[in-house]
Structure 1
């Protein structure tokens, strides 16, 4: 098995690589749309290439599932795989905002066993080993203990008046939003759209080891490194409000059927 400290060191190096371009302030000049509304930067590609080169040396038998090499499915479905987002939160990255990170997970038999989020612009590095520990900058994490859905803290830019939740700062990176629940900075993160495994795999183990509940939008168990690389949404909450959140999401989906 690989040394977890080596994975963390590689994620740190990847963060240094991304930071050099972010600090140069020319991110928007080196960006294009890979599909409508989906942007990618030269830094995404460079970090992806760096991570694949370094991580495959660590564990040659593992598969590879990454946002920027998603078309390569030859190794998906293996018992072990790297699930990587070279820059999660590219929109913040290209705008010069700090809400982005490098996300690296090692998945075994469908579940993330190692996770690292390196958010160098925020000077934060989050790490977790399943069944062992989870921390940010060396501080042990304890997830939100919220027990009342009404008033729960949600990372969001704005909320309609009829929604009884409390808005808190929202980084563009969904991985960092899940990490906020792990560190009791938020109580609830929800997405009701089809999303990609690489966005959440590392944050999943970080949040779960801290005591948060992490499922798909229907409240079902998430499994990683299938052949499609997608899951229907994500729901990350304190243990005390997860059932209520699942019910609220189900009601929302029923009322908005066909609109998502």
Structure 2
């Protein structure tokens, strides 16, 4: 388990990074695509650099996995590792929309034990520590008590016809914030059916888990972090009462993606 007070120090570092991102948000910064469909900007790199310096000073022995840093296999031998997305939801950041956040997780023995999302444009700070609950702006979070899949609220821009019994709610670009919506009881289900990166979800997975959500990959299997690939096949976060039904509904689609 993390040292006493460490979560507060991580939250302070996330807040510093959030202030930097906010100060640069409405300025003339460079932007480009790492690969088609994957935008990045100068600010991503500036925030990444700040986080690496500050977090390394906190735990010099911890490994590092970040969207904006070249991966290094040495992290695999580390018991503890920082898993970071300096700006999760870069598309919203570039468009001047508030659906982005600084995401920091401390992973210990393959599972997140501290998670922080700092979303300054939304005036939100989400925090969790393993065994101690999850909070937004200091208020304890709890998932919604839903036990039927039909009518479940999903952050989405559109839904396939087969899911027309679900209810769309507003969707921030940040997948971490969408998972956090489940933690806050503002959504009942978030699911992706594709390979995704650990840095996108590590902090939010702990926040949702500590709020009582059920969390698995797209096939209902436990999630693990600091894996060699740094990826997992999808994430499914939901109210516990609908998780099995959600896995069952998505299973064929998930297997089809894996076969492709």
Coarse TM-score class (shorter-chain normalised)? over 0.9
Contact map agreement 2:75 2:226 (CA 8 A) in 1: no
1:88 corresponds in structure 2 to: 88
Deviation track 1:38-83 (CA, whole Å, cap 9, x = no partner) reads 1111111000000000000000000001111143332234110000
Whether the 8 Å CA contact 1:111–1:223 is kept in 2: the answer is: yes
- 2:156 maps to 156
Q: How many positions carry a matched residue from both structures?
A: 256
* Partner in structure 1 of residue 178 of structure 2: 177
Conserved 8 A contact 2:17-2:51: yes
Verify the 8 A CA contact 1:191 1:217 in the aligned structure 2: yes
**SS, match of residue 53 in structure 2:** helix
| Inter-partner Cα distance in structure 2 for 1:178 and 1:116 | 13
- Identify if the C-alpha distance between structure 1 residues 77 and 192 changes in structure 2 by more than 3 Å, giving closer, same or farther: farther
Query: Within the alignment, does 1:226 sit opposite 2:216 as a pair?
Result: no
Residue by residue over 1:78-135, the C-alpha shift from the partner in whole angstroms, topping out at 9 and shown as x without a partner, is 1100000000000110000000000000000000000000000000000000001210
- Give the CA RMSD over aligned residues: 1.4
Counterpart position of 1:15: 18
Paired position in structure 2 for 1:57? 57
* Distance of 2:226 and 2:200 partners within structure 1: 12
| SS of 1:9 mapped into structure 2 | helix
SS of the residue corresponding to residue 39 of structure 1 reads strand
1:139 aligns with 2:139: yes
**How much has 1:258 moved relative to structure 2?**
4.2
Contact 1:77 1:226 in 2 (8 A): no
Note the C-alpha offset of 1:148.
Answer: 0.7
Residue 253 of structure 1 and its aligned partner are, at CA, apart by 2.8
TM-score scaled by length of structure 1: 0.95
Stretches of structure 1 lacking an aligned partner (at least 5 in a row): none
Does the alignment pair 1:116 with 2:119?
no
CA apart distance, 1:200: 0.4
Q: Please list, as runs of the form range in 1=range in 2, the aligned pairs for 1:229-248 lying within 5 A after superposition.
A: 229-248=230-249
Match of 2:214 in 1: 213
1:254 Cα deviation from its structure 2 partner:
4.5
Q: Give the secondary structure class of the aligned counterpart of 2:26.
A: helix
TM-score between the two structures when normalised by the length of structure 2: 0.95
Conserved in 2, the CA contact under 8 Å of 1:102 and 1:117? yes
Aligned equivalents of 2:255 and 2:24: distance in 1? 44
